[in-house]
Chain A
Amino acid sequence: MIDQLLSVVLDPLRLLDILIDGISSGAQYALFAAGLSLIFGIMRLVNLAHGDFIILAAYILFAISWVLGALGLPPELNPLLALLIAAPLLFALGYAVQRGVLNNTLGKDILPPLLVTFALSVILQNGLFLIFSPDTRSIDSGALSTAGINIGYRQVPVLALTTVGTALAVIGGLQYLFFRTALGRDFRAVSDDPEIAQLMGINRRQVFALSMGVAMVVVAIAGVMFGVAGSFDPYLGPSRLLSAFEAVIIGGVGSLWGTLAGGIVLGISEQFGSRAFGEEFKQISGHVAFLIILLLRPRGLFPRDKD
């Protein structure tokens, strides 16, 4: 084991590999976590069904791109087209779920929203199981899935670069929405003090519903990247939710760039663990990094000033 550790630590190219692959898998975690971070930041809602929403999105995107493929459209383009079709649908779904269900649970007590989202999680898993069977699925991206770019000493998968680019764009876009638009001002106002915001004429229930809609668009983007990168089944949501939670907490609750940083910390730790100690240590390395950061900085790497 020491040999393996040294062979990794002493080889700059293998360390660079850890950095590259860690950032790309971390970007995937960040995409997974961005919607969760957004929802928690605005309405202090811990959405236990977040992972299942992503799997739901992946299935919806799988179905749409399958239809597009059957119509003869090129598989390299279908995931993107499917996303354009699915994003408004998922926005509407998020809006409806928040207005119809979750708004009624928000209040001083944090337990009701937890229980309701947990129930949603169970309903989604079993609903997907009934509709799609437990067969694993993957969204076809044709030649994109095996394409790589040569960077001299190695080849980097185009999909990995796309994931990193997407994560940057999503976090950057959300940041812009938050700090540069009227809707973002409402989001921040409601997040800072819902009662005062209400007094100022902001309809809190409407703002919450819109933010859930936005979160679901992010979920759709995470779903497409996840579905293209690997295979999924109806029960995969909760296991992926754990990494998303860790990314949010490492980064600092409520900070979007922090969530990206948290995902990357998690990704690099896992890549380091699996290469230096063996594949068995992949997940546990991520969890250990999470615990260490929690011990050193209980509020995460980039905590918000006021919380």
Chain B
Amino acid sequence: MTKLRFTRRNVLRTGVAGGAAVAAGSLFMPAVHAQASTKIGYVTPATGPLAGFAEADDFVIGNIRDMFASKGVEIVVKDTQSSPARAAEVTQELIAEGVSMVLVASTPETTNPTASVCEANQVPCISSVAPWQPYFFGQGGDPATGFNYSYHFFWGLEDLMAVFAGMWNQLDTNKKVGGLFPNDGDGNAWGGAFPGFFGAQGFEIVDPGRYENLNSDFSSQISAFQSAGVDILTGVPIPPDFTTFWKQALAQGMKPKAASIGKAILFPVAVEALGNDGHNLSSEVWWTPSHPFTDSLLGLSAADVAGAYTSATGRQWTQPIGFVHALFEVADRVMETAGTGADDVAEALSTLSMDTVVGPVDWTSGPVKNVSKTPLVGGQWRGDGNGKYDMVITENALASNIALQGSMEPIFG
């Protein structure tokens, strides 16, 4: 290695070059600076096993980016690669870049590390697309005090379990339920809550225990379900694991009447990965184009927002479109009312009550501080026999303003 020598010549040379670089920067930067004086961050699992959640990000943010830019707000997007450690890391990067607020979506593995880093750094964080219990208690939240800078809107496990029970009660089953709960934030929360709730409703949960994600062998779970004679399957596996599980279950001759699965089969691409074997699989439904809500930024209906996605990308709508859109609706509203100061924003969030494309978001009346609940219904994927699927809403007891589109059909009669 050559040593740096501070001769007159060297200092002059580097000084001039450095000065030129600084000058060039200041010559070309101002236009951007004048336009984007405020930055907000968006943290999302754009790649990795959770990538399905982020499929519509480019579209949603693409639409909003120009609108925000005209208000002097720049959106900085960071990919977590589906890793919690990376989520914390990119949040630190965003904070170092001076963002005034962080938005984050998709599973506790993404929302929790991001919200925790924001809370520690006193930066406001708005999150969604993770049930509120794993979000709140997963970060060690205390209902008495809550968080100061983190706010979350989504539904909770109590809603999910009520929706699943409503769907299963439409079918004639032996009420025995096999549970597929991985060793992660969602899996532990679901596995902990299901036996109590469903036991009281007359269901029996068969839980073979927590398994590690990216499993290639589900024969022991399938064997446990078969020897208990379950009619119903449920669980919250990551998408690639459900594909593996379902194929092995069919190959081992399982014929469940219902399979209500969270997380893994929320998106058309995930169901299409099953070929024609995804017919009548069911899941919770947080948002569809037929949800009777209107967006606060442009006055678009849910159907308009989803329709714009399909016409722009040629792909089927997916549930996160509405929620990612709503995150930016909330961000826009608080910046309008409270500016960008961290404490002002946090204060505004704590009393915010507004209508979004996913329904009312209201942090004054949540189950705990920092949480606002959005409506939840249930639905089934109906296949057309050519590997394409449509979501049909089959259960709406919790939100009767969202119309039913059909009733539950058994997977195997």
A residues neighboring B (CB under 8 Å): 11, 13-14, 17, 21, 24-25, 28, 133-136, 138, 142, 145-148, 150, 154-160, 226, 229-233, 236, 271, 274-275, 278-283
Contact = CB atoms under 8 A, between A and B. Distances in A.
B247 A134 contact: no
Given A142-B275, A157-B252, A274 B212 contact: no
Chain A's interface: helix, strand, loop or mixed, by majority? helix
Given A25-B217, A136-B214, A282-B220, A233 B251 contact: no
Nearest to A142: B275
B82 interface: yes
B292 interface: no
Contacts of B241: 231
Interface stretch (B148-156, B223-231, B334-342, B349-357): B223-231
Contacts of A229: 216-217, 244
Interface in B222-278: 223-224, 226-227, 239-241, 243-244, 247-248, 250-253, 273, 275, 277
A282 B277 CA distance: 28
Contacts of A157: 248, 251-252
Given A146-B250, A230-B216, A14 B51 contact: no
Interface residues of B, number: 37
B266 to A, nearest CB: 16
Interface in B29-48: 47-48
A150 B220 contact: no
A11 B215 CA distance: 26
Nearest to B222: A21
Contacts of B82: 134
Contacts of B252: 148, 154-157
A148 B216 contact: no
24 contacts: A11-B227, A14-B223, A21-B217, A21-B223, A25-B217, A133-B48, A136-B239, A136-B240, A142-B275, A145-B251, A146-B247, A146-B250, A148-B252, A154-B226, A226-B216, A229-B216, A232-B214, A275-B220, A275-B224, A279-B209, A279-B211, A280-B210, A282-B211, A282-B212
A135 B209 contact: no
A243 to B, nearest CB: 11
A150 B48 contact: no
A287 to B, nearest CB: 13
Given A274-B220, A275-B220, A279-B221, A158 B244 contact: no
